[in-house]
Chains A and B, each alone.
Chain A
Amino acid sequence: MIDEKILAQMNGEYVMPPDAGPAWRAAYEAGIDVSLIEVNLQKTPWERLLANDAALALIRVLENAKSPNPGA
Chain B
Amino acid sequence: MSDYLPPNAFVRFLNLMHAISVLPVGIKLDPQEERVMQELGLRWGRGDSVTVLAAMNMMPEASPSTVQRRLKSLRAKGLLSFESAPHDARVRHVVPTSQATAYFDGMSDLMQRAVDRR
A and B physically associate: no
List residues of chain B with CB under 8 Å of any chain A CB. none
List residues of chain A with CB under 8 Å of any chain B CB. none
